[in-house]
Structure 1
Amino acid sequence: MTISYTDALRYARDKKVVLPEEFYLLDLNARQYATTVSKLASLDQIRTVINLSNKAIESGSTFHEFKNAIQAEGIELSPHHLENIFRTNIQSAYAHGIWTQQQENKANRPYLRYSSLTDSRVRPSHLALNNIVRHIDDSFWYTHYPPNGYLCRCGVDAITEAQAKKQGITIDDELPGVQPDSGWTTGPASYGKQLNEVLDQKIADADPRLADELIKVRDEMLISQEANEAIVKAFEPMSDTSKQVNEAIVDRVLESKKDVEPSAIRMLTEFIKDDEQALTDLLKTSVVKNDKPIVDWMKRSFDSLMLIAKNLKSKITGNNIKGFESFNLQKGNVIGIQTPTLFKTSAEAGKSITILDMRGQALDLSKINGLNGALLAPDLNLEVVNITGDEVVLRKTNELATRLFVANNALFNLY
């Protein structure tokens, strides 16, 4: 049975399981697997199945929903083949999260032990790898970290050096001469070490016109992978305070019964921090450079969160918009906020700020377990309608700001 992302969160809550930070980047990790689909006649079908598979992972769709989406596109594949595609992508996504977590803890557990099942269904080549112990940085894992084939059920345990020595570290001469299943190219440990060999082989075998199209697909996937890596790198490790905020957001997601993109939860956790900088810097640069994959992720993530905490008030108030205080405001100016921006009431004295006509233009953080303030939407234009010694009144406007300026790491436009 396949469960949705929200159901997985709810299950973890019920079992009091503490989820690693990597779990909240599941959608980004899934995108890093540039997969080609065999037995499809056309390039468009390959694109369609890959996109629907990734979408299913991001939204937590069931296999039945994925199968119906494929059939709606007029693509005919056997249920068995579709299930292979669906479950393999999910396996790869979770395996990448586990691999990343093991890498982060390798100072304490520097060895890995391969673990295969030993029942009648296990493939002999996979059983031959059972109980192999090698250092986590050993090149063996670049080629043999599971999954090592379609519907592979193998796993890897991280163990201490003492445990590795007690069991026995596998020497080179004892490594079995087996490889991952035919047609299987990459596991989570090998990501970044090689291009998608299956796609490269398709390019080599195709006629020139199709090869050109396949090269475009490969290049698009590489751009997407680079964008996802940049987003993941911009996320700071969660402090205890951030973990509490993250848990509050998860509680609200579960209460709303809406599926949101996992990385959207992490995005909101970052933006609520007073000292957040890395993610804002990344998005600020991406907006200026028109880096479409990153900008699209930002907007998609924000829209996903709007499903659970959309602001329904026409007027919102506070005294602090991040990066806003250093700008000399003038009545009639139009300020364009390009990235999600925290607006709240701060303990420090400052001008009272009122923003009008804001229904549906921000995340109401009070809906997320009583958090303070709002997160203003990207691409939001605000006109200065009144300013006094102790108050600023802004109004959402359709008039576009045209001149860019940067204040305290937040990106604005000024008309």
Structure 2
Amino acid sequence: MTPAEFAQVFKLTPQEAIAYLQARDLLTTTDDWYELWQDEHAAQFTVSRLARADLLKTIRDAITRSVDGELSRRDWMRDIKRALVDAGWWGEKTITGKDGEQRTTTFDARRLKLIYDTNTRTAYAAGQWERIQRTKTAFPYLRYITMGDEKVRASHRSLHNLVLPVDDPFWDYYLPPNGWRCRCRVVAVSQRDYERGMAPDGSKLKKAAPDVQMREWVDRRTGEIRQVPIGVDPGFGYNAGKAAARAAALADLIRSKTR
């Protein structure tokens, strides 16, 4: 699926998604993916164990170009593979972490797909949330949708056709993507369609908000115990759109105090 096709599926022009990616202008090297936690991704860009700021910039800029329609995912993977090969980062590589420990990392086609899909889907989710807020008077509800195939996780399948108000706290934890390679999404729903009680395919809407239940997850780097929503991969249990808004507000505050 090309970025343009992905945007069409989500009924979203890419401008908001591009703005989200451009705002992630702090390039951060990390040893593990969980060193940046949830909201921190709204202002920072990282690829775990890629200890080269110039390559991080190349990857981020190419993702932005792809979301803007210049590159398909295949084009992006071709260009980034070439950049990694030229820099000696393709395949398996041993690096020295910030703690002095040796770590192994691998850059291959599977890894590139994961990097691309995670970053583009989060960007579209953040951009879509901006639009959702602008149009919530006309479309005051959101409906959770899965791809409906055998790859959908059971915990996500149970949320299919769940419809809740835009500002329900549920979306603070379960706004897709809700994990690595998650393909779930939300669509806006009008009051009329909510009262009708059926999805476009005739299936029944679920209107009862499920309890947000948490489980403990241990940060292996710090030993800190974090609370993550059940059914959501660690690090994904947040609203990327709200995180982007908070990051933008903080950036504006900093700029106002440094003038």
Q: TM-score, normalised by structure 1?
A: 0.39
Inter-partner Cα distance in structure 2 for 1:49 and 1:186: 27
- Are residue 143 (structure 1) and residue 149 (structure 2) matched? no
Identity within the alignment, %: 28
Shift of 1:35: 4.3
- Are residue 72 (structure 1) and residue 86 (structure 2) matched? yes
Name the structure 2 match of 1:37: 47
Question: What does residue range 124-273 of structure 1 map to in structure 2 within 5 Å?
Answer: 124-165=154-195, 166=197, 167-173=205-211, 178-184=230-236, 186-192=238-244, 226=251
Inter-partner Cα distance in structure 1 for 2:57 and 2:166: 32
Say which of 64, 73, 79 aligns to 1:58. Answer: 64
Say which of 126, 141, 147 aligns to 1:96. Answer: 126
The one of the two structures with greater contact order (alpha-carbon pairs below 8 A, sep at least 6) is: 2
1:126/1:86 CA distance change after superposition, 3 Å: same
Contact 1:111 1:164 in 2 (8 A): yes
Inter-partner Cα distance in structure 1 for 2:208 and 2:22: 33
1:63/1:122 CA distance change after superposition, 3 Å: same
- Are residue 28 (structure 1) and residue 38 (structure 2) matched? no
2:14 aligned counterpart, secondary structure: helix
Shift of 1:184: 3.1
1:187/1:64 CA distance change after superposition, 3 Å: farther
Inter-partner Cα distance in structure 2 for 1:110 and 1:97: 17
Inter-partner Cα distance in structure 1 for 2:81 and 2:250: 26
1:28 aligned counterpart, secondary structure: helix
Highest Rg: 1 or 2?
Answer: 1
Q: State the Cα RMSD in Å.
A: 3.9
1:83/1:169 CA distance change after superposition, 3 Å: same
Q: TM-score, normalised by structure 2?
A: 0.60
Name the structure 2 match of 1:123: 153
Inter-partner Cα distance in structure 1 for 2:111 and 2:235: 14
Equivalent AA in structure 2 for residue 179 of structure 1: G
Q: Which runs of 5+ in 2 are unaligned?
A: 24-41, 91-106, 198-204, 215-228
1:172/1:120 CA distance change after superposition, 3 Å: closer
